[in-house]
Structure 1
Amino acid sequence: MQVSVIGDPDDTVIVSVRGDLDGGTDTVLGTTLEQVLDRPVPRVVVDVSGIGFCDSTGLRSFINGHERAVAAGGWLRLAAPGHQLRDLLRVAGLLPVLEIYPSVADALAPEPDL
């Protein structure tokens, strides 16, 4: 698995994940998320379009990251999940909990004012 981090001019961080996310690789993502979430009001987009396989231990990294971001007044968004990951999120009941976007650009777009 490969994880890369890109800073955005508005202080949003994009974390790109490529490969399989499972019990053997989830610590790489978990450690990366801990680092990028260690800031005031963290805003993180995780590009999951390159994940070929994810299991429940991989989901734990997303849940932990989401909870930590929200506790700090920020957010963590998942962008471009493939069919396997989207199905796993649905079966695990996480679609209403985690913010899912069709693309990184959509995840970075400002929320409309209501």
Structure 2
Amino acid sequence: MHVAVTNRDGDIALVSIHGAIDINTAPALRDTMHQLLDAGRVRIVVDLAGVDFCDSIGLGTFAYTRNHCAAAGGFLRLAAPSPFLSRLLTTVGLTGPIPVHPTVTDALHEASAA
């Protein structure tokens, strides 16, 4: 898994993930999210277009990050999940508390308006 962070207008951090999020790779994602939160970056959009697998540790990382962002007046938005990942997010109930957008452009547009 590869994680990259891009700073966007309006202090939005775009986190792009490529590969599988599993027990071996989730710590890198968790570390990235902790670094953003520790730096006060609480407006985060995650690009999931390159993710081909996500286990419970990755899902837990999204839930944890969303809770901390919301507590600080920010947000976490997920963008461009595969059909598999979209079904998984819905099945585990994350699509209620975490907005999921079909594209990164849609997520950034909504995030900029927030």
Alignment TM-score, normalising by the size of structure 1: 0.91
Q: How does 1:71-90 map to 2 (within 5 A)?
A: 71-90=71-90
- Structure 1, unmatched stretches of 5+, are none
CA distance in 2, matches of 1:3, 1:95: 22
Contact 1:79 1:107 in 2 (8 A): yes
Structure 1 residue 40, shift from structure 2 partner? 4.0
Structure 1 residue 111, shift from structure 2 partner? 3.4
Q: Spell out, residue by residue over 1:85-104, the C-alpha distance to the aligned partner (whole angstroms, 9 max, x if none).
A: 11111111221121101111
CA distance in 2, matches of 1:103, 1:67: 22
- Structure 2, unmatched stretches of 5+, are none
Contact 1:37 1:44 in 2 (8 A): no
Q: How does 1:46-57 map to 2 (within 5 A)?
A: 46-57=46-57
CA distance in 2, matches of 1:9, 1:90: 29
Q: Match of 1:108?
A: 108
1:64 aligns with 2:64: yes
State percent identity of aligned pairs: 41
1:6 aligns with 2:38: no
User: Which is helix-richer, 1 or 2?
Assistant: 2
One-letter identity of the residue aligned with 1:111: A
